[in-house]
Amino acid sequence: MAIMRRALSVLTVLLMTTAPAWAQTSVGIRAGASGSPDQFFFGGHIETGPVADHVTFRPNAEVGVGSGLTLLTINLEFAYHVPIRHQPWSFYFGGGPAAVISSPRGRNGSDVGGGFNVMLGLQARRGLFTELKIGFIDSPEVKITVGYAFRNR
């Protein structure tokens, strides 16, 4: 429960401290599997309108379960979108820093570490997306994600 409070606090601060790009904000849900640690995860994200040409800010939080621990990752990622001509899809890539909070089962307390992610994704104009994320330092080594972005456009 303390992990969820921390995540909500971080996301609240992010929402309150960013620029006018939030006027075009969408929210999304995500789930998938990670390797090292081997886990199932679920979470959500917020995506701003462009903060630069084709670049959006896409912070997300994910809770992973499995391999004897619960993992909360808070990822502060930027995505560069490349539209695919005459298609309802766009390709995106990007990355950013991460806060990684792990709570081993059967042990009180949690460990906090930092990480960095790089990502590649494909997203439909209507919201469906899939993403491959490679993590460094304390981030999970690989994540495969599917999700949906609810757009207000």
**Lookup: tokens for 132:** 């491959």
Our count of domains for the chain comes to 1
Task: Give the pLDDT of residue 5.
Answer: 66
Q: Which domain covers residue 139, as residue numbers? A: 2-150
**Lookup: tokens for 26:** 């969408």
Question: 123: exposed, middle or buried (C-beta count within 10 Å: 0-12, 13-18, 19+)?
Answer: buried
Question: What type of residue sits at position 27?
Answer: V
- CATH code where residue 123 lies: 2.40.160.20
Task: Give the pLDDT of residue 110.
Answer: 85
> What is the Cβ-side half-sphere exposure of residue 54, based on CA atoms within 13 angstroms?
10
Task: Give the pLDDT of residue 153.
Answer: 52
Task: Give CA–CA dist 115/106, Å, rounded.
Answer: 24
Task: Give CA–CA dist 61/72, Å, rounded.
Answer: 7
Q: Is the Cβ–Cβ distance between 62 and 72 less than 8 Å? A: yes
Task: Give the pLDDT of residue 90.
Answer: 92
Q: What is the 3-state secondary structure (H, E, C) of the chain?
A: CHHHHHHHHHHHHHHHHCCHHHHHCEEEEEEEEEECCCEEEEEEEEECCEEECCEEEEEEEEEEEECCEEEEEEEEEEEEEEECCCCCEEEEEEEEEEEEEEEECCCCCCEEEEEEEEEEEEEECCCEEEEEEEEEECCCCEEEEEEEEECCC
Q: For the whole model, what pTM was predicted?
A: 0.79
The pLDDT profile of the chain, 153 residues, written as one tens digit per residue, is 565 566 556 656 655 555 455 557 889 999 999 999 999 999 999 998 889 999 999 999 999 999 999 999 999 999 999 988 898 899 999 999 999 999 998 788 789 999 999 999 999 988 999 999 999 999 999 999 999 999 765
Task: Give the pLDDT of residue 126.
Answer: 87
